[in-house]
Amino acid sequence: MKAAILTALNTDLEVRDDVGLGDLGPGDVHVKIISSGVCHSDVSAQNGTIPCGTPCVLGHEGAGIVQEVGAGVADIAAGDHVILSFVPACNQCGPCLRGQSYLCDQSMTVAMSPHFTLDGNPIGGFTGVGTFAEELIISEHCLVKVDNDIPLDIVSLVGCGVTTGVGAAINTAEVTPGSSVVVFGCGGVGISAIQGARIAGAAEILAVDMVEGKLEQAKHFGATHVCTPDAFEQMKGEITANQGFDYALECIGNPVTIRATFDAARRGGTAVIVGVGRMDQKIEFTAFELFYMDKILRGSMYGSSNVRTFMPKLLRLWKAGKLDLESMISRRIQLEDINDAFQAMQDGKVIRSVIDFS
């Protein structure tokens, strides 16, 4: 079968047609991928920001149709339509039992399980998934069943970017009606965070990005104000009378913008870090400001979302016309176009490219 493989850091992906699947073990599910989003985290794997062994099948945002299930799988059957969750939800470990399945203890086990074969050797998928492949084998804990009447290109977006961004606004930040919000970064996750803030009832939503075209798109998805970084202080003054925003969300993963996000929140406000930065990068705060500013600073892993309940809620919002997923799909591509899709994303030309495997 075909799959796009990262063979070495900072190199183009190689599309191979001789990739195989490993054995279907107990608790495993064989899925035919129908649609996969191209997410910036895949670029982060390519450039080493997110640790990823090579060779590796990239892709972690996808949807497909179940082909067969392994021994012991009871809640999913052949023919079911599913979202692939790159974080499992085993419903048995401590984090899952306390309602934090996005921190599931099985995450590393799943991520390190090689379910593909190449040249006779086992290889893994990115985060244990690997949606840049026509088919894959995955733990049942990484699948969320959805209604068969929802288009799978729409469903695939919920696998990462939409859950992460909307969840960051609603679950992590807990944006309240009538509040002010600033979102740094207007890629797929940032646009989703803007939509989440809109759904939560924010009165003002400022979108900040260096690419003018992205700012125009942000308005469509709910931003009430937009600006480039050089105009941020002026906009902050106009919107908040220089008090700062109730909620500030960083969807880039850069130390400079992480620090700027903390500074953008008002005293007593909330700053949420959604973007993935490099493991060797650091941000500096003074001991005094952390005490005196009384701000909440927290990370947001997978939008702090319990995928088994939150993903279906997102699709209900889409059905109700309150969450715009169609407009997030900028391009529909074939697997062979994957490297061009990576470049278009880095150039700020797309919100999401979606690979069509159907």
44, 35, 7, 11: which is closest to 346 by C-alpha?
Answer: 44
What is the pLDDT at residue 154?
Answer: 96
Looking at residue 48, the DSSP 8-state letter turns out to be T
What pTM does this model have? 0.95
Give the closest residue to 82 by CA, choosing from 34, 133, 146: 146
Q: What's the token pair of residue 54? A: 């090579």
Cα separation, 295 vs 36, whole angstroms: 37
Q: What are phi and psi of 246, to 5 degrees?
A: -60, -40
| Residue 211 shares a structural domain with residue 142 | no
| 320 is a domain residue | no
Domain co-membership, 271 together with 236: yes
Residue 22: enclosing H or E segment and its boundaries?
none
The pair of structure tokens assigned to 88 is: 């499992």
Same domain, residue pair 79 and 108? yes
Identify the band that residue 52 occupies on the pLDDT scale cut at 50, 70 and 90: confident
φ/ψ of 18, rounded to 5, equals: -120, 30
Residues 92, 185 share a domain:
no
Overall domain count for the chain? 2
Q: Are residues 154 and 278 in the same domain?
A: no
- The reported pLDDT for the residue numbered 54 is 93
One-letter amino acid for residue 243 of the chain: Q
Instruction: Examine residue 313 and state whether it is found in any structural domain, yes or no.
Output: no
* Six token digits for residue 226: 């937009």
- 86 pLDDT higher than 90: yes
Q: Taking Cα atoms as reference points, which of 216, 210, 169 lies closest to residue 317?
A: 169
Let me know if residue 316 belongs to a domain.
Answer: no
Residue 33 contacts residue 134 (beta carbons within 8 Å): yes
Under a CB-based contact definition with an 8 Å cutoff, are residues 122 and 20 in contact? no
The reply to whether 8 and 154 lie within a common domain is yes
Q: Is residue 114 part of a domain?
A: yes
Residue showing tokens 């620090």: 259
Look up residue 172 and give its DSSP letter: I
Same domain for 86 and 230, yes or no, is no
The total number of residues shown for the chain amounts to 358
Domain of 99?
3-158+325-356
CA distance linking residue 124 with residue 134, whole number of Å: 15
pLDDT classification of 188: cutoffs 50, 70, 90: very high
Q: Are residues 340 and 262 in the same domain?
A: no
Q: How far apart are CA 245 and CA 224, in angstroms?
A: 14
Which of 266, 286, 301 is the last residue in one of the domains?
A: 301
Question: Is 310 domain-assigned?
Answer: no
pLDDT at 224 over 90: yes
CATH number of the domain encompassing residue 84: 3.90.180.10
- In the chain, what's the furthest Cα-to-Cα distance? 63
pLDDT of 218 > 90? The answer is: yes
Q: Are residues 110 and 56 located together in one domain of the fold?
A: yes
Residue 228 domain flag: yes
pLDDT of residue 97: 96
Of 269, 301, 333, the residue that ends a domain is 301
Query: DSSP secondary structure string, 108-171?
Result: HHHHT---EEETTEEEEEGGGT--SBSEEEEEGGGEEEE-TTS-HHHHHHTTTHHHHHHHIIII
Q: What share of the chain is helix, strand, coil (3-state, %, to 5)?
A: 35, 25, 40
- pLDDT bin (cut points 50, 70, 90) of residue 325 is very high
pLDDT(358) > 90? no
Burial class (CB in 10 A: 0-12, 13-18, 19+), 23: exposed
308 lies in some domain: no
Tens of pLDDT, residue by residue over 26-39, are 999 999 999 999 99
Confidence of residue 285 (pLDDT cuts 50, 70, 90): very high
Write out pLDDT tens, residues 130-185.
999 999 999 999 999 999 999 999 999 999 999 999 999 999 999 999 999 999 99
Among the listed residues 46, 15, 31, the one whose alpha carbon sits nearest the alpha carbon of residue 345: 46
Instruction: For residue 56, list its beta bridge partners.
Output: 6, 124
Tokens of 154: 């729409």
- What average pLDDT does the segment 295-319 reach? 97
The percent of residues above 90 in pLDDT, for the chain, comes to: 97
Report d(CA 42, CA 160) in Å as an integer: 11
Query: Does residue 9 contact residue 48 with C-beta atoms inside 8 Å?
Result: yes
Strand partners, 186: none
- CA distance between the termini of the chain: 14
172 and 292 assigned to the same domain: yes
The CATH number of residue 220's host domain is: 3.40.50.720
- The closest alpha carbon to 170, from 202, 142, 209, 214, belongs to 202
Residues 295 and 343 in one domain: no
Would residue 312 count as lying in a domain?
Answer: no
Mean pLDDT over residues 36-59, rounded?
A: 93
How far apart are alpha carbons 40 and 275 in whole angstroms?
A: 10
- Measured CA to CA, the distance from residue 67 to residue 261 in angstroms comes to 44
Question: Are 149 and 7 found together in one domain?
Answer: yes
Cα 135–75–108 angle (5° rounding)?
60
